[in-house]
Chains A and B, each alone.
Chain A
Amino acid sequence: MAITRRDLLLFGGGSVAALPFTPIPYKLLDDVSIWTQNFPWLPVPVPGEITLASTTCTLCPAGCGLKVRRVNTRPIGITPAAGHPVSRGTLCPLAFGAHQLAWHPLRLRQSRMNGQDAEPAAIAAKVAEAVGAGKKFAILDERPGRAVSSLYRQAAAKAGGVYLTPRLEEEAPLAAIRALCGEGAPEFGFDLEHARTVLSFGAPLLDGWGVPGAMKLHWKGRETAFIHAGSRFSPTAQLAAKWLPILPGSEAALALGLARVLVDEGLAAKVNGLDHYRALLNQMPLNRAAEITGLKAETIAETARRLQAEGPAVAVGGGDLAGPLGRETEAAIAALNALLGAVGREGGLVARRALAADAADLAPATPLEEADAGSIGVLLVEAATAGTARPWKSIAAKLAEDALVVLLSPYNSGYATFAQAQVATPAFLESLEEAPTAPGAARHSFALAPAVLEAPETAVAPAEFLALVAAEAGWAGLSEATTESACRARAAAIHASKRGSVFSIEDASETKVSEIGSADELYSKLAAGAVWVDDAPAAAAPPAVTLPGAAEGERQRMLTAATAPVHGPGGEGALVAIPAAWTGNTASGVRVPLAGKLDQESLLRALPGEALIHPATAQRFRLKQGARVRVEAPDAQYLATVRFSDAVMQGVVEISPGETEALDLFASTHGGASRAVRVRLGRA
């Protein structure tokens, strides 16, 4: 049979027409797809046996127990430690991605001075030289209460300097209560477990406060009713049994209004100083409190009655991360607790069992706010990775003109911009770390976090750096100090007290300290990732509390805080700015790399650098979603991106801070931070 040209064309055409009905193109596509899965730039995870290593989270002060999933020596994930007495088998979202922090893009692998690589010894020599030249030495310890902190305090004492601590929001109301109890008052902690009603004044109880996961677990039990007074429709406000939407900064007015109802209706507990406090309350009639807070007078009255009727009740101050309450507001909240009879009562504020007394050679802990302005010549800062947020301005206010600032951090972030020298320290999981008592806790605890990863050779632990400085400066007894020696000393003190018990994460077993043979044995257990928890507070007679405001000046300051709650000049076009921070987006450390899942890649949280604003307010200022605006406070400005939210109060702008520049908006002249400031919005 002769094959004609027509046959060939027919065959060709037919083949083309039939091709889509054969597997050939699909197989080709399939093969191409499979091939593209193996592009060489895609990493291939190396398999191996999965093992678990027990340790403790040291990103924030909570100290949650965790297990690191490892393949060989590589960490591939983090899981909560079941039954852990502090974290109760829970973790916050950040912890789940924290094993990646060692490879953070902002990781500092080499110490630096004046923009050049430098040996830690050279930086230490510079510090010693400055101290020797008579400059005032200070250490800002963003994670106070650790065994290593005692080395810092020793160093500060030897140098004639100061040991500075930042404000921890959970501890601020406890300090206010202690101040009302006078000399010799015990340390207090919140006993929220036994409280029936908890009133939070802006404190993010269900969003990062204390031990975050454990608080959520407690909330889930529904045995405690959470009432939240705050200006933001925050996660805590959303989850609370009742939200009191108060105007920004009006916490003090609310506390005084509630106190007024308790006193007027004879619901208050018997406390000292009621007469002079009544003089203050007389200047805060319920209607005035209602006007300042934006609540109805009946709502304040009902809340006060509920706190008394549904006791034990306790009020929690402290405020939000990056939005702390002022001292006078804390005093008003402390007074409210006293009037509720919450001080020294189960389900209120209980006295923690005392730890061994400090050695005589330790410098006292001085709150950063109380340091003299312009006094510090040499400042060492050990930065926390998460859980702290303060404007750099609040630190800068304390520095002398030519001050040397040395940052001890694994990251080139946070305060790094302002430091002349940066000492590269080990990152999370890379060295022996410790977690002291969780802030706000009713019981003391102490956990060690053994290293799970190998630190870079260039990294120097803060205690080692301090030893270098001590050797240069000739501070006896400190040049040999290490983190381990400090932790061993703490373990010995715990062993000597014979109190509490030790929980081992590995086998979820508990051993009483009194049954542990030696301090070394206790240390070995702790160094394997165990946690010591003190015994429950002993039943004791409630301490005598004297209400604040004995002096006319003090009453006046409290009244001013209540009646003029927003800082900055007002006038046409002014808005009230409040920070909308959370542990994951605001810190002097870095964000966990995957934290973007919670804000950038979803709408669960505000992105750092966003300004949340009510659409009606935006319309007033002719702003559109996504517009860039300049937020201007009297002494600072910040570029932010507008995002609409009808959950924001009108006339208010919620700033989601990411960089320290955003926090500077809220920096106040006394070196702290304000909860609410007046700002103006301008086009960027």
Chain B
Amino acid sequence: MMANTPNTATAAPVQENRKIRRFGMVINLDNCTGCGSCMMTCAVENNCAPAKEKITDRTGITLMRVFPVNDRQPMPVRQAGFVPMPCMQCEDPPCELVCPQQAVELDPLSGIVDQMPQRCFGCRYCMAACPYHARYFNWYDPEWPKGMEQTLNPAVAPRMRGVVEKCDFCHGRLHLAEDQAAIDGNDDYTYTPACVEACPTQAIVFGDLNDEDSEVSQLAKDPNSFRFLAKLGTEPKVYYYSEHEWRRNLAERDMNGNASRNEGKEA
């Protein structure tokens, strides 16, 4: 586990007089029950379509995904838990670097790695570059049963087949908060992503990592906090917290323990 030293620098120059935020998360793995509320509300908030029959765990769209994990001990002494994985919102995002279309951009004002599907032409370089497998490709057009399109969130445009998408910390909600702040003439705003709002055990803490007094900032500095694959130096802004060593050790472990349903199928 590497030392947790939140980087207060931003990637690009920004407009003067605007407060520079670095939105991030600390997810308390000890409080995650794996219920999947975050996944469901994320799908609703971001207008993800119900899965077609042929979609699998490899081809689905789960911008927030909860992985079951364990300490690899034999049953019945095995300890198990869950790891919710949104986009890690890296400070130095490899996906941004490889995108030939500038469809990925680190927002200097919020620190959020934005994905612009309108620019994406589906080369999936970003998916290959992302060490967290946090990006998803739209293999199919999104389709809703007749009439259900009425339930779509107007703050988020549905994405079409052939583009990559990922978690952007609910940019629709961020924009609403920014709009309201502009109306109020007050730049001191914050907001709550859908997964944070939905978690029944408040395992996800969200806020501005640049704000030294914020709960998220304090938690990120806790000795029990860690980041996945920190050794790669991508400086993720999603931190995890656990008082259990085996969970903290997950940070540098590959995730091969979880086989896909497709693996080992009969020919």
Contacts and interface: CB of A to CB of B under 8 A. Distances in A.
A624 B266 contact: yes
Given A30-B119, A217-B200, A598 B36 contact: yes
Contacts of B31: 220
B160 A37 contact: yes
A212 B35 contact: yes
A217 B60 contact: no
Interface string B11-50: 0000000000000000000010111110111011101101
Interface stretch (A6-14, A96-104, A411-419): A96-104
A261 to B, nearest CB: 21
Interface string A36-73: 11010111111110000000000000000000000100
B139 to A, nearest CB: 11
A602 interface: yes
Closest 8 CB pairs of A and B: A601-B60, A626-B265, A90-B200, A43-B149, A103-B148, A596-B51, A45-B152, A213-B200
A97 B40 contact: yes
A604 B33 CA distance: 11
Given A212-B200, A626-B262, 9 more contacts: A33-B163, A45-B152, A77-B45, A97-B44, A104-B145, A233-B80, A594-B43, A601-B62, A602-B39
Contacts of A29: 101, 121
A26 B121 CA distance: 10
Interface in B179-213: 194, 197-198, 200-203
Contacts of B55: 596, 600-601
Contacts of A32: 121
A46 B57 contact: no
B50 A596 contact: yes
A102 B61 CA distance: 23
A94 interface: yes
B68 interface: yes
Interface stretch (B107-115, B222-230, B233-241, B253-261): B253-261
7 contacts: A26-B100, A34-B118, A213-B200, A233-B76, A597-B36, A597-B48, A626-B265
Interface string A597-633: 1101111110100000000000000001111000000
A238 B146 contact: no
Contact of A36 (B45, B157, B162): B162
B120 interface: yes
Taking chain B's interface residues, is the majority helix, strand, or loop, or is none over half, making it mixed?
loop
Interface in B57-71: 57, 60-62, 65-68
A115 B203 CA distance: 49
A605 B48 CA distance: 19
Nearest to A208: B35
B62 A597 contact: yes
Q: Which of A48, A100, A605, A643 has the most CB of B within 10 A?
A: A100
Nearest to A607: B261
B18 to A, nearest CB: 25
A619 to B, nearest CB: 12
Taking chain A's interface residues, is the majority helix, strand, or loop, or is none over half, making it mixed?
mixed
A96 B41 CA distance: 5
Contacts of B201: 216-217, 219-220
Contacts of B119: 30, 33-34
Given A34-B118, A77-B41, A644 B145 contact: no
A602 B65 contact: yes
Contacts of B264: 624-626, 644
Interface in B128-170: 141-142, 144-154, 156-160, 162-163
Contacts of B232: none
Interface in A528-549: none
B263 interface: yes
Nearest to B145: A105
A47 to B, nearest CB: 4
A33 B118 contact: yes
Contact of B151 (A76, A206, A607): A76
A80 interface: yes
A75 interface: yes
A216 B200 contact: yes
Contacts of B43: 97, 594, 597
Interface string A145-172: 0000000000000000000000000000
A593 B44 contact: no
A245 B75 contact: yes
Contacts of B45: 77
Contacts of A34: 118-119
A233 B68 CA distance: 12
A479 interface: no
B145 A93 contact: no
B251 to A, nearest CB: 20
A563 interface: no
A44 B120 CA distance: 19
A600 B57 contact: yes
Contacts of B202: 220
A534 to B, nearest CB: 24
Given A29-B121, A43-B144, A100 B36 contact: no
A39 to B, nearest CB: 6
A217 B66 CA distance: 19
B6 interface: no
A603 B258 contact: yes
Q: Which of A33, A39, A100, A219 has the most CB of B within 10 A?
A: A33
A32 B80 CA distance: 47
Q: Which of B36, B41, B66, B119 has the most CB of A within 10 A?
A: B36
Contacts of B94: none
A598 B39 contact: yes
Contacts of B261: 603, 607, 625-626, 643
A41 B141 contact: yes
